[in-house]
């Protein structure tokens, strides 16, 4: 911890999360811990990167951005459940969590920094979206001036050349081939933190060029290619519904990993704003050195996050949740095509197809609340951010609470809601139609309960068959293969006419077909051999 | 005429007036209580006078002290806080350390004070012991290590291993002062390393058996246990304790105790009340026998050498039964 000579320079003392990570397993107190992480005169002990990330969070939350919101709530099992109070005619619940909780507006940009993801900051004007992105650039070690100059501002006249660079005029005149043209690339392309302000004001043609950079990490102009590498992206928009000057192309929206809403300013903190204005204090100019990440630390941070484990029980619940959304039983004839995607590609309204599926409980079936399923990209983002949150909280493996916490922000724009779904009708549904975070979180909780009710942690025959297959086919005899084929067929026969076709069952059925096909091919090969 | 220490410190403050005034003004802007800052500035005079140093060295000490006052004031620290006690009562005696790294020394001492401040009486004891030890050394690294030893002696049992290790490299005189010991300090520490409850003039006389310590308490009164705890296992310093459905790790030695929110499954369940129960109303251990100081059912007993930790059905406390050495 650096001893501040001014409060803005104050960095929270380690450990910022008592009991996190290795600390939980250590009974004895070390000298460094007793003295707050300070080593003898030689040189200070650098905190572990997860501790540094937490220190960065607390510095931003306590000193830089005035954000008293703690909307990502955790309970401490040792301290008990949170206290809940109900206010007003609508009995609005306010929770006082018993564990360390966080502000999404500060945490998610920081996790984006850790995983080098793509974060969209949305909210009304003047809510600090750009300021938040600016801070992330400074945390990456860039001078404030450089970050400000490198920020790309969306406007209707923005061209590809404005964004990426222009060819040198002399080359344009003298070149005989495209490859002879040198391009003066914009310096922001090489930065580890890239900021695009008001991305929904970029013209569509330029958005397409930005998409290549965002998605694939390279840009091409006049046959010249610039590889930009991994970086953390921060895009801002005043209206997350794609309003503004131009509609945001779906492919670009789909590349966004997480959407964070800039919550409203709490007017009880006006005094702090006034004090800053009077003292000309700018947080981005006062970032303590102790929370700035070097390039090597940033890379190491990313590696460490990727190494966080995703335990099978947590993964299974995510699989169960994700499998709820694609099935549209009446969208096709062939089993594989009974999906919402089939309906959308054919121009049909998935809502009508789902509504026609009578006999299904549309209130408990979360799949009937969406117009599409989850993409692979969305699942990858979800896993990455869950790992990042677990890492941030000092854990070596993702917990269910980590997954639950990041899920609404990652899937905010990726799981399109069916506003006409029966489950969203009525007064209770009004709030869920507008509060996507609560809607998504509620669906995850509902599927978790269904998962528990089905006992899938212990009763998962498809999981067992899949695990058996994944051991490999080396040494498996024809007789064993026939036995496995018979087992697959028995399971399907047992489901026939017995069970409603829900989303998870749809996925399991396709898995069984996959296993059957793999075994069939292997058996044919054994016979041939 | 040579400058007095007071004059030297005042001169240093005047030299740095512009910068120090700006820091104080900023601290007030960010919410520091001016009254707290005023008290703090009084401390700066006292501490800087004691700490010594001249010229640039003194300026650095004064600047670091004012910076620390601003930081603590900005954090809402009160005049009676652990940090202020440590700065006012102790830091001035740590001259060699403070002069060597003014900012680092203050930060570390304040952090240590916060850690100790959670335990009643520990901070005052630490300040007294480290202050006494500081008079016998002028080495910054030794002062730092003495701080660890004094903290363990003052009740921070989690520092036990670090303290015993640090003590090996320290000269005898300041070490004895930090431990408030006389005689063969090395022998005392060697014995204690093997037997965590062995300490001069502590515990039962040779041939005597008695309960020498008690720890715990009901959560409603500030203790760690919601229900009467049951001792399950232990190794002499670490004790595995069960309270209802949760297990906790109790660290307990002659100087202090701490209950940690973790299970200690690696400690085997060796509890055996029969091992300490004699005839009705009597306890036994290591061949000795004594009247039990209470009438209660012993729910758990773990024996390690001449020490046993007992739990009782009617108590939220754990008792430490100790047998004196052979007469």
Q: What number is the average pLDDT over the span B235-240?
A: 92
Nearest to B74 among A7, A28, A30 (CB): A7
What residues of B are in contact with residue A1 (Cβ under 8 Å)? Answer: 107, 111
Picking from A462-466, B107-111, B303-307, which range would have the lowest pLDDT averaged per residue? B107-111
Q: What number is the average pLDDT over the span B268-287?
A: 91
Is the minimum CB–CB distance between A43 and chain B shorter than 8 Å?
no
Is the minimum CB–CB distance between A269 and chain B shorter than 8 Å?
no
Size of interface A-B (CB pairs under 8 A): 104
For B71-100, b where at least 16 C-beta lie within 10 A, e where not — what string?
Answer: bbbbbebeeebbbbbbbbbbbbbbbbbbbb
Nearest to B108 among A27, A35, A278 (CB): A35
Closest-CA residue of chain B to A79? B261
Could you tell me the sign of the dihedral formed by the alpha carbons of B35, B38, B40, B42, in that order? Answer: negative
* pLDDT the model gives residue A80: 63
> Where does the pLDDT of residue A2 fall: very low under 50, low under 70, confident under 90, or very high at 90 and above?
very low
> Which tokens hold the place of B98?
């403070």
For chain A, give me the number of helices (H) and strands (E)? 22, 11
Region of residue A142 (phi > 0: left; psi between -120 and 50: alpha; otherwise: beta)? beta
Closest-CA residue of chain B to A44? B104
Distance CA B157, CA B141 (A): 22
In 3D space, the residue among A104, A82, A105, A80 whose CA is nearest the CA of residue A95 turns out to be A82
Note the ipTM here.
0.86
The secondary structure of residue B229, as a DSSP letter, is: -
Is the minimum CB–CB distance between A1 and chain B shorter than 8 Å?
yes
User: Length of chain B, please?
Assistant: 327
Q: Is the pLDDT of residue B31 over 90?
A: no
Is the minimum CB–CB distance between A7 and chain B shorter than 8 Å?
yes
B162:A28 CB<8 A:
yes
Probe site for chain A from B18, B30, B91 (most A CB atoms < 10 A): B30
B162:A27 CB<8 A:
no
Alpha helix (H) residue ranges in A140-280:
144-150, 160-164, 169-174, 204-216, 250-254, 270-279
B71:A31 CB<8 A:
no
Please state the separation of Cα B145 from the chain's center in Å.
13
A41:B106 CB<8 A:
no
Q: What number is the average pLDDT over the span A163-172?
A: 78
Q: What number is the average pLDDT over the span A64-70?
A: 82
Tell me the per-residue pLDDT of A373-409, one tens digit each, with 9 for 90 and over.
999 999 999 999 999 999 999 888 899 999 999 999 9
* pLDDT the model gives residue B1: 46
Probe site for chain A from B68, B111, B249 (most A CB atoms < 10 A): B111
What residues of A are in contact with residue B63 (Cβ under 8 Å)? Answer: 5
Q: What percent of chain B has pLDDT over 90?
A: 51
Tell me the per-residue pLDDT of A202-247, one tens digit each, with 9 for 90 and over.
888 888 888 888 888 888 877 778 888 889 999 998 764 555 577 7
Nearest to B23 among A6, A19, A279 (CB): A6
Q: Is the pLDDT of residue A41 over 50?
A: no
Distance CA A481, CA A525 (A): 11
Probe site for chain B from A1, A2, A5 (most B CB atoms < 10 A): A5
Tell me the per-residue pLDDT of A78-131, one tens digit each, with 9 for 90 and over.
666 678 899 998 888 999 988 889 999 999 999 999 999 999 999 888 888 888
Closest-CA residue of chain A to B145? A31
* pLDDT the model gives residue A9: 64
For A164-201, b where at least 16 C-beta lie within 10 A, e where not — what string?
Answer: bbbbeeeeeeeeeeeeebebebbebbebbbbbbbbbbb
A10:B158 CB<8 A:
no
pLDDT, averaged across chain A: 85
The secondary structure of residue B304, as a DSSP letter, is: E
Distance CA B245, CA B230 (A): 11
Tell me the per-residue pLDDT of B8-26, one tens digit each, with 9 for 90 and over.
888 888 888 888 888 787 7
> Which tokens hold the place of A481?
């293969």
B75:A35 CB<8 A:
no
Nearest-neighbour CA in chain B from A182: distance (Å): 51
Tell me the per-residue pLDDT of B52-108, one tens digit each, with 9 for 90 and over.
777 788 888 888 888 888 777 665 566 568 888 888 889 889 989 988 888 888 888
Is the minimum CB–CB distance between A36 and chain B shorter than 8 Å?
yes
Probe site for chain B from A1, A2, A4 (most B CB atoms < 10 A): A4
Structural element, H or E, at residue A451: helix A436-454
Region of residue A472 (phi > 0: left; psi between -120 and 50: alpha; otherwise: beta)? left
Probe site for chain B from A2, A12, A21, A29 (most B CB atoms < 10 A): A29
Contact A248, A206 (CB under 8 A): no
> Where does the pLDDT of residue A317 fall: very low under 50, low under 70, confident under 90, or very high at 90 and above?
very high
A 270-329: CB under 8 A from B? 275, 278-279
A3:B144 CB<8 A:
no
Q: Return the SS3 of B49.
A: helix
Region of residue A455 (phi > 0: left; psi between -120 and 50: alpha; otherwise: beta)? left
Tell me the per-residue pLDDT of A412-465, one tens digit each, with 9 for 90 and over.
999 999 988 888 887 778 888 889 999 999 999 999 999 998 888 888 999 999
């Amino acid at each position: 911890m650096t001893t501040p000579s001014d409060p803005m320079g104050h960095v929270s003392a380690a450990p910022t999360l008592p009991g996190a990570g290795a600390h939980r397993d250590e009974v004895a107190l070390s000298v460094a811990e007793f003295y707050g992480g300070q080593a003898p005169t030689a040189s200070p002990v650098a905190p572990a990167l997860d501790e540094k990330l937490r220190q960065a969070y607390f510095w931003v939350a306590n000193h830089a951005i005035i954000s008293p919101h703690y909307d990502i709530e955790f309970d401490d099992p040792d301290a008990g459940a949170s206290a809940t109070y109900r206010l007003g005619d609508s009995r609005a619940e306010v929770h006082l969590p018993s564990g360390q909780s966080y502000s999404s507006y500060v945490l998610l940009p920081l996790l984006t920094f850790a995983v080098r993801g793509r974060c969209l900051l949305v909210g009304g004007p003047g809510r600090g979206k750009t300021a938040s992105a600016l801070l992330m650039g400074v945390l990456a070690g860039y001078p404030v001036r450089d970050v400000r100059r490198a920020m790309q501002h969306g406007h209707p006249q923005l061209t590809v050349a404005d964004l990426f660079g222009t060819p040198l005029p002399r080359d344009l005149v003298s070149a005989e081939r495209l490859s002879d043209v040198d391009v003066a690339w914009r310096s922001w392309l090489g930065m580890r933190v890239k900021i695009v302000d008001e991305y929904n004001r970029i013209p569509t043609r330029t958005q397409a060029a930005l998409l290549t950079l965002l998605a694939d990490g390279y840009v091409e102009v006049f046959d010249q290619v610039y590889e930009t590498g991994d970086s953390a992206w921060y895009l801002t928009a005043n209206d997350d519904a794609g309003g503004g000057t131009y509609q945001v192309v779906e492919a670009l929206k789909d590349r966004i990993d997480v959407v964070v809403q800039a919550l409203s300013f709490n007017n009880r903190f006006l005094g702090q704003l006034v004090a800053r204005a009077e003292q000309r204090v700018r947080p981005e100019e006062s970032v303590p050195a102790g929370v700035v990440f070097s390039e090597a630390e940033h890379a190491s941070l990313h590696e460490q996050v990727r190494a966080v484990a995703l335990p099978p029980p947590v993964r299974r619940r995510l699989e169960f949740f994700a499998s709820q959304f694609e099935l549209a039983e009446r969208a096709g004839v062939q089993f594989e095509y009974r999906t919402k995607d089939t309906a959308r590609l054919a121009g049909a309204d998935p809502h009508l197809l789902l509504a026609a599926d009578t006999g299904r409980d549309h209130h408990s079936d979360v799949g009937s609340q969406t117009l599409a399923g989850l993409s692979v990209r969305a699942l990858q983002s979800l896993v990455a951010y869950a790992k990042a949150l677990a890492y941030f909280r000092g854990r070596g493996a993702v917990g269910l609470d980590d997954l639950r916490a990041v899920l609404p922000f990652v899937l905010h724009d990726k799981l399109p809601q069916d506003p006409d779904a029966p489950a969203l009708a009525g007064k209770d549904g009004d709030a869920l139609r507008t509060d996507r975070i609560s809607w998504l979180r509620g669906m995850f909780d509902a599927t978790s309960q269904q998962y528990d009710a089905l006992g899938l942690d212990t009763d998962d025959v498809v999981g067992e068959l899949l695990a058996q297959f994944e051991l490999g086919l080396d040494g498996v005899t024809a007789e064993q293969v026939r036995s496995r084929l018979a087992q697959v067929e028995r399971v399907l026969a047992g489901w026939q006419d017995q069970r409603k076709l829900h989303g998870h069952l749809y996925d399991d059925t396709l898995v069984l077909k996959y296993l059957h096909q793999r075994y069939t091919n292997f058996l044919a090969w054994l016979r041939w051999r | 005429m040579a400058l007095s220490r007071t004059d030297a410190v005042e001169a240093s403050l005047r030299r740095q007036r512009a910068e120090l005034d700006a820091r104080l003004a900023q601290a007030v802007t960010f919410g520091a209580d001016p009254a707290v800052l005023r008290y703090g500035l009084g401390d700066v005079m006292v501490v800087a006078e004691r700490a010594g140093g001249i010229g640039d060295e003194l300026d650095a000490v004064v600047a670091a002290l004012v910076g620390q006052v601003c930081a603590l004031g900005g954090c809402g620290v009160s005049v009676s806080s652990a940090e202020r006690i440590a700065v006012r009562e102790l830091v001035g005696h740590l001259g060699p350390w403070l002069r060597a790294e003014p900012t680092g020394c203050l930060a570390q001492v304040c952090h240590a004070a916060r850690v100790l401040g959670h335990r009643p009486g520990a901070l005052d004891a630490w300040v007294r012991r480290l202050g006494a030890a500081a008079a016998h050394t002028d080495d910054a690294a030794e002062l730092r290590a003495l701080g660890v030893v004094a903290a363990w002696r003052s009740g921070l049992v989690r520092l036990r291993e670090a303290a015993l290790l640090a003590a090996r490299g320290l000269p005898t005189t300041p070490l004895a002062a930090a431990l408030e010991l006389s005689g063969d300090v090395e022998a005392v520490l060697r014995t204690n390393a093997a037997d965590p409850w062995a300490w001069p003039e502590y515990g039962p006389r040779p041939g005597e058996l008695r309960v020498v310590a008690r720890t715990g308490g009901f959560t409603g009164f500030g203790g760690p246990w919601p229900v009467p705890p049951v001792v399950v296992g232990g190794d002499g310093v670490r004790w595995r304790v069960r309270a209802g459905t949760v297990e906790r790790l109790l660290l307990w030695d002659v100087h202090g105790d701490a209950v940690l929110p973790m299970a200690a499954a690696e400690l085997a369940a060796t509890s055996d009340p029969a091992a300490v129960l004699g005839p009705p109303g009597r306890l036994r251990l290591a061949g000795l026998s004594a009247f039990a100081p209470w009438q209660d059912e012993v729910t758990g007993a773990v024996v390690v050498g001449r020490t046993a930790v007992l739990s009782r059905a009617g108590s939220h406390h754990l008792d430490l039964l100790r047998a004196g050495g052979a007469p």
